[in-house]
Amino acid sequence: MADLRKIAPLGTAVLLLAGCRQDMHNQPRFKPLAKSDFYTDLRSARPPVEGTVARGDLRADSYLYSGMIPGSDTPGEYMPFPVNEEVLARGRERFNIYCTPCHSRLGDGNGIVPTRGFARKPPSFHIDRLRKAPLGHFFDIITHGFGIMPDYAAQIAPKDRWAIVAYIRALQLSQNASADQIPRGQAMPSPMPKFRGDPGSGATLPESAAPSKAQPEEPK
């Protein structure tokens, strides 16, 4: 009787394992691009149902994804979302990564690529034609390219393209602002920044020195 009690758990385990089936593990399936005689076109991989839209790719806002006024081929002169300091900071970051090699940090077309013998120098963003160009024009060029400039649709997400467009407009304003557009109390031109120690090697930006505290005026 004692021996039976010892082997009972083992027998129960054997029965449970014998009841397991491998249908889910060994279910019929096709390898990628395999031939199938089930379909008339002999392809095992089936195309998506007509009208299928990938998750997050509905693109209901046509202006956000094209820069063109809906129902036309005319570039729009407005941003599809509000512009704040965060958007401009993002635009500056993306611009410095993708655009400065050709356009330079100032947007004057004197980037490292054209100065090292590239076939054509890009135009400055500060010429009248581009200062008057609508915002959608820049978005369209980033998306589809222009001339020998390739498109950056694969590298830059649509919202980041708009952030770059906003920063380009800020660059244009920085180089063409009039005296009445300068905030009251700010010098024009702005004073040069002060740096701590020697400038950097070019691999990184120099470190800006902390502003010195204003000295109290001596009594008269």
Select, from the ranges 25-39, 40-54, 157-171, the one with the highest average predicted confidence (pLDDT).
157-171
3-state SS, one letter per residue, for the chain: CHHHHHHHHHHHHHHHHHCCCCCCCCCCCCCCCCECCCCCCCECCCCCCCCCCCCCCCCCCHHHHHCECCCCCCECCCCCCCCCHHHHHHHHHHHHHHCHHHHCCCCCCCCHHHHCCCCCCCCCCCCHHHHCCCHHHHHHHHHHCECCECCCCCCCCHHHHHHHHHHHHHHHHHHHCCHHHCCCCCCCCCCCCCECCCCCCCCCCCCECCCCCCCCCCCC
Maximal C-alpha separation, the chain: 113
Domain residues of the chain, as ranges?
94-177
DSSP code of 199? -
**Cβ neighbours of residue 109 closer than 8 Å, sequence gap 6 or more:** 102, 103, 121, 122, 123, 124, 125
The tens digit of pLDDT for each residue in 96-126 reads 999 999 999 999 999 999 988 888 899 999 9
Element containing residue 174 per DSSP (H, E): helix 158-176
Least trusted range by pLDDT, from 24-38, 52-66, 132-146: 24-38
pLDDT for 16-35, tens place per residue?
666 666 666 777 788 888 99
Dist. CA 8–CA 27, nearest whole Å:
33
Residues 6+ apart with CB under 8 A from 168: 91, 95, 107, 125, 138
pTM attached to this predicted model: 0.67
d(C-alpha 162, C-alpha 81), whole Å: 9
- 184 — pLDDT class (breaks 50, 70, 90): confident
Q: What is the pLDDT of residues 74-100, one digit of tens each?
A: 999 999 999 999 999 999 999 999 999
Give mean pLDDT, residues 45-49. 89
Domain 94-177 listed as CATH 1.10.760.10: yes
CA distance 135 to 192: 30
